[in-house]
A = this chain, B = another copy of it.
Amino acid sequence: MQDRYLGEQRRYDDDDDRVWNCGAWFEYILVVVVSSILLIAASVLTIFWTIYYRKGFNMDDPKLQFNLHPVLMIGGYITLSGFSILLYRICRCCSHLIVKLCHTFFHACSIPCIVIGFMAVWDSHNQQQIPNFYSLHSWLGMITMGLFALQFVLGFFSFLILLCCENATYKFRSTMVPIHASFGVATFMLAIATAVTGLTQKAHFELGENYSQTVEEGIIMNSIGVILTGLGIIIPFAVRRSNSPANCKVYVTERI
């Protein structure tokens, strides 16, 4: 048991001692910078779109109350989740426990975004007597929220609470790592699939025939969709690439 524990320790600490070549550094910086720019761009562009084209927020007007939904879901949940996943790539010199705590904190911050974002559209629909849960967007949204909740509870239990008896729970935690990592990335991709169906739906509802005339607002909405899809490519790529040198086959998500 002691040997295995030492083995685990060695795997954690070795990375910092390894020498990176120019290519690995270039890729690291490129991935981190591009991901961060895309995450911030998605957030900023969604806020800009809702304020400039959709007349901002007002809780007394159900149409303007709806605008909280895309801002909190994209600018809140997706951006925070993206940074939370990306932390495993960014923090290559920090203690692993600190990275885990920050990962949990970022995800915890996205919980109020999801709850208020969901309540905003639910209440707005009910006030306007628009039915709920009929569209593919809403179905995907429900699955995403369910998976997120499951991932949060299981992740919190497995990787923070069970850390109290570190050695005894090593095997269970090591089994959970690839499952949590795979489903975490899957939840993020699901959130993006939900967002792009939501944007498509909103474009058809609000722009109607004008959408096919390539109006300015349509281009902004499509750009948000393309940025989100770009995030769906680069974030899983970022966490699946190792923090260790290019020729060493240790994956970030294998850390326990």
The answer to whether A189 and B232 touch (CB under 8 A), given A131-B212, A212-B131, is yes
Q: Would A137 and B192 count as touching, CB distance under 8 A?
A: no
The answer to whether A226 and B139 touch (CB under 8 A), given A134-B212, A196-B196, A218-B134, is yes
Choose, from A57-65, A92-100, A102-110, A245-253, the stretch at the interface: A245-253
Contacts of A203 in B (CB 8 A): 135-136
Least CB separation from A221: chain B residue = B136
Contacts of A246 in B (CB 8 A): 175
The answer to whether A225 and B197 touch (CB under 8 A), given A186-B232, A203-B135, A211-B135, is yes
Residues of A within 8 A of B (CB): 130-131, 134-137, 139-140, 143, 174-175, 178, 182-183, 185-186, 189-190, 192-193, 196-197, 199-201, 203-205, 211-214, 218, 221-222, 225-226, 229, 232-233, 236-237, 240-241, 246-247, 249-251, 254
Known pairs A193-B196, A197-B197. 7 more at Cβ < 8 A?
Answer: A131-B212, A135-B200, A182-B237, A183-B237, A189-B236, A190-B229, A197-B200
